[in-house]
Amino acid sequence: MLKLSGVIRWSALLAASLFAASLQAKPYKAAEIYSKQTYKYGRYEVRMKVAKGSGVLSTFFTYKNGSEIGNTFWEEIDIEVFGKNNATQWQSNVIIGSSRPTTKTEGLHTASASLGDGYHTYVLEWTPSYVAWYVDGGQVRRITGGQFVTSLTSNQDIRFNVWAANIAEWVGAFDPNILPVYQFVNYIEYKPYSASTNSFTTNGSWRDDFNSFDTNRWNKANWTFTENYADFDTNNVVVKDGTLVLALTREGATGFNGTVPSDGGTTPAPSVFIEAESFNEVGGSVTVSGGAVGYIDAGEWMKYNNINIPATGTYKVEYRVASALTTAQFTLDKNGVGLGTISVPNTGGWGTYATISHDVSLTAGVQSLAIYANSGGFNIDWIKLTKI
């Protein structure tokens, strides 16, 4: 099992809820749903308002069924929002491995404001080459290559839950006087990954706005595990006013009869993220190393086919670059037409990266984009296009 400071971690045990069991006689009741189908590479977008309170977790994650059994190879990808500290912190994680404790890569992230005061958009992107996490349109973490990407080979189901952990060192001490607390989910949207286009596609995609509880898509959990102060109770899964409500309550006070908080936020601007090394064609002898393209000389280029621009308009195009020179310059090209030229500053060295940007006009649809080096001497890690 996973351990932190000598205590068994929830991420490994959450799936151990599959050890089965009927409801235990615990004084508190939590909630979990899990998908009937399993999914693999894709873009998972979730809009939710999390619960606040020490000891409480609101989560969205993918999990390979049966991972907890014996020495089965574990596969799991997590978004775990802590209720402690006014719900300003959350954790990204990938869990793998046949041995126990399993192998994990935890990232702790702090938001500028409480994630429990309103709805926020969380995105998990999972492809054969990377796993990335976003909040409200901004990338928070990305793992490119390595065991935490290449070992994720199985389909996984999709899960949401809210619960109370008895691991104070991790989530804070639980105070039952805060109950009831709730996690509100506005929607979830899934877009499969297409290897042929190296992009996320609408073919096979789906979205659940929770206008009802879709029993063809979801199951409700009815189990518990040692590290959970609560049982998962099906009565604490409620759909109301186009919102999935997951409740954490006392026994005998299950369900939700209140007013669902309105989602007054805006949808993040459409964006496209391209890893520089994912080019389909190349001119010259560039070198790919450490997830970046380097040794780019004048006249060399990288072409990215089948880039789906989601809407017509002006885009802020950001590039993560490094250079030890002041003369490097390149042009962004679309289908053979230059869109804009940008100079690369001296970032302080070949391994010191900075983000530069310019604005370009793009039309909606699938097209080819390319980076053409007018003058060489720079490395590039990624490209991000965001509609403004």
Which residues are catalytic, by number?
76, 80
* SS3 assignment, position 280: coil
Half-sphere exposure of residue 175, counting CA atoms within 13 Å on the CB side? 8
Q: Residue 358: which residues within 8 A CB-CB, separation 6 or more?
A: 316, 317, 332, 340, 342
**What is the rounded CA–CA span in Å between residue 263 and residue 184?**
10
Q: Give the closest residue to 198 by CA, choosing from 112, 117, 307.
A: 307
Dump the DSSP string for 102-145. Answer: PEE--EEEE-SS-TTSS-EEEEEEE-SSEEEEEETTEEEEEEES
Residues 6+ away with beta carbon under 8 Å from 45? 121, 122, 123, 187, 188, 189, 190, 191
b/e code 192-215 from CB counts within 10 Å (16+ = b) = bbbeeebbbbeeeeeebebeeeee
